[in-house]
Every structure is written in C-alpha cells, then in structure tokens.
Amino acid sequence: MTTSAQLPKKRRVLSDPESDDAENSLQYAIRESSLAVRSSPSRRNSVLLSEGTQDDDLSTPPSSPPPRLSPPPQNTRKPTFSFLKRKHATTTSSSTNGSPLSEVNSNSVRASLDPPTKKVGTQPTLKQMQLDLGHEVRKTCATCGMEYVPSNAEDAALHKKFHDMNLTGVDLGKAFMKANASRWVYEATRFDEGYVVIVDRKASPTAKNQAKKVLEVISKELSSPVIEDEVLWSQTETPQHLLQAGSTEKVDRYKVFLHMKDSRCVGACLTERIWESQPVDRASVQEEGADSAVTVRDATHAAIVGISRIWTSGSSRRKGIAMDLLDCVVSNFIYGMEIPKEQVAFSQPTHSGKNLAQAFFGAENEWHVYQET
C-alpha cells in the first residue's frame, strides 16, 4: 500500500532523468563513504547524519518538514573518580585568581581560626607557676657552713659537692699518691694509716693544682680570701737585719701540708714564712666571746713559721689530725731544723683555732699570733 506522500516523490523522480542519474551517483558515493568509515564507531553518527541530510535535500519536497534525528542517549554513568574531577576544578579556579602560590603555615592557619567563645561573666582560669617573694631565700648549711640558695639548681649542686668534700675529705686520686710517694715526710701517729705530704713551690704542677683544690674548700668554710697562684708559689726576701751586711736571701713563702688517708685528704695546714709575732693576752681570751678576735700585747717576738689556715674534714674531727699536722710543721718546715713552739704563731684564729692553739702550746703557756700581709 502506498501513501499519498510517496506518490508525488515517485512522479518527480521518474519524470526527471537527470535527477535519477544524480541520485544514483550520490547513493553510490554514500555507500562507498559508509563502507570506509564503518569501522570507526565515533564517526558513524556523523556519516549517517550527513547521509540523511543530503537525502532529505534531494528527495523531500519543500512542503514537508525535515525528519528529526533523535539525539544520542546521554551517558548517565557516574565517573569512577568523579571526586578527583571536582577537586581539580576547585583547585584550578582558586589558582587562577591572579595571585602567586605561597606556602601554607599551619600556625598561621590555626591562628586565623576564630578564638573560642567565652561565656559572658566568666573569668579565665589562672595557674600560679612560681612564688615570687622579690628576693631569693638563702640558707647556711649547719654542717659545712656554706651559704647557698636552695631554689637555684646550680647553687644547690655546688653546695652538695662542697658539702661532701667538707664532710668526708677531698679525693685527690691515686695518681697524686703515686706522684708524691717519695714526699711522704711524716707518718701520722695519732691517726691510723695516716701520712702527711708537703706541697711547695718546687712541687709538680699536678700536685700544686690538687693542693689548690683543698685550699678552695678551706677558704669557703673559713670565709677567707683566696690566695692567687703567683703569691702562693712565690718567694720572699729575708729581712736585712737578720742577714749579714750586703747579703740577700730568698725563701719559699708558703707551704701546704696535706694529711692523707689513702687517696683522700682529710686535713690540711697552710703555713707561711714569717719573722715576728706578738703574744696573746690570755686574760682577754678567757673574757671574750667565742667569735671575737683575740687581743695582743705590744711586745714583739721573733718567729719562723705562721699557721695561716688549718682544717679537718667533718667526719675526721676529734681524731688528732690537726695535732699531727702541727707536729709535722715544726719538724719539716725547715729541713733539718726542729722549730721551737714559741717561734710558731697563728693568724687571727676562730673559736676552734683558739682551742687548738691552747691544746698545742699548753693551757699554762703563752702563745703568739702574727699579722698576715
């Protein structure tokens, strides 16, 4: 059955022989083109579209509307990595705003966040970390006598070190024992296994440094000034009135007597070469307080050795160590000479020094002091 729309088309094509040849040639070209592109799926729709368009232009009358091709179905399948595509689009839009890229600091990002909201009427919670009284609290150790600040870590560590040396003695090491084995000048009789070593200007640098180590402990406990090395290991000239006319003589100024037990120094005595001293007013010593200075008489006496400082470690006191040191001083300060006690003088003594001097010289005998330079 034929329709009324197809009859005019047949009559038009049959009535025009030139259009029949053109139509055959066109259909041939279309078939050849469709064979060439049939293997390409992406171009199939475009070829069919062009084929339908050309065919409509040649065969469809102007009064008929052109056939509408249905558009290809939309791809409704969601991409597998669609979130990456969205992130890329966001990054691209943000990076094309004309500003250069810069490094992001986490601190600045955190600081840019809004601060936490505070409730109206509430006060911030404060925590006291340290109590400030305006000054550091100092403490004096009852055992070693050192003044220090307990809240200061460095000060507390220094006190602990000094406290241990003051209590048990200063460890000078086995190397000091070996280096000074030939200088053991006195075997202590009042202290078991004790001996005394002399360190003077002619001693080795190691022995001098160890002696200085002990003297630093003594200076801190007695609150006495530190003697510099150039003075401690120096020489002094003998006064001219004690020599023949025109002659000079230099002698060592200081000598250090170290009372040792094994490698630990438990007592020490710093001696000084002197030439005169003054007798102590014994009556005034008995009347004066424990911490007061002794008074002297106007008389001047000849002297040879002065006891500048004498010390015993806390755990070794009342064992005769100080008396051992004094016995060694009178026997070995000047080689081959036993110094008379009346020519031995003390520097301004402490309360313990007074008791030691009276025990050494005798309760009924006179003893002397000298003025340190």
pLDDT digits (tens, 9 = 90+) for 128-172: 665 555 556 777 777 666 777 887 888 777 777 777 777 778 889
Give the span between the Cα atoms of 353 and 367, in whole angstroms.
12
Strand 276-279 to strand 305-312: parallel, antiparallel, or no bridges (unpaired)?
unpaired
Q: What's the mean pLDDT when you consider all of the chain?
A: 74
pLDDT(19) > 70: no
What CATH number has the domain bearing residue 354?
A: 3.40.630.30
Half-sphere exposure of residue 346: CA atoms within 13 angstroms, side-chain side: 25
Kindly state whether residue 98 falls inside one of the protein's structural domains. Answer: no
Residue 2 pLDDT grade (very low, low, confident, very high; cuts 50, 70, 90) = very low
28 inside domain: no
The rounded radius of gyration (Å) of the Cα atoms in the chain is 57
Length of the chain: 373
Residue 303 has pLDDT above 90, yes or no: yes
pLDDT (0 to 100) of residue 372: 86
Residue 4 has pLDDT above 50, yes or no: no
- When pLDDT is averaged across residues 236-250 and rounded to a whole number, the result is 87
**360: pLDDT strictly greater than 80:** yes
- Looking at residue 95, what is its pLDDT? 45
Is 58 contained in some domain? Answer: no
Quick check: is 158 in a domain? no
DSSP string, 331-355: HHSSTT----GGGEEE-S--HHHHH
Please check whether residue 12 lies inside any domain of the structure: no
Decide if 106 is inside a domain. no
What is the C-alpha to C-alpha distance for residues 199 and 228, in angstroms, rounded to an integer?
A: 15
Residue 22 has pLDDT above 60, yes or no: no
- pLDDT at residue 117, as a whole number: 58
- Beta carbons of 261 and 172 less than 8 angstroms apart: no
pLDDT at 211: 94
Give the model's confidence band at 243: pLDDT under 50 very low, under 70 low, under 90 confident, else very high.
Answer: confident
pTM over 0.85: no
Of the candidates 152, 149, 129, the one whose C-alpha atom is nearest the C-alpha of residue 137 is 149
- The total of structural domains in the chain comes to 1
Confidence check: pLDDT of 254 > 90: yes
Q: For 331-352, give one letter per residue: b (16+ CB within 10 A) or e.
A: ebbeeeeebeebbbbbbebeee
| Structural element, H or E, at residue 227 | none
Asked, for residue 108, whether it belongs to a domain, the answer is no
Q: Which domain does 297 fall in, by range?
A: 169-370
Tell me the mean pLDDT in the region 285-299: 71
For residue 212, being part of any structural domain is answered with yes
**pLDDT tens digits, one per residue of 33-47:** 555 545 454 444 444
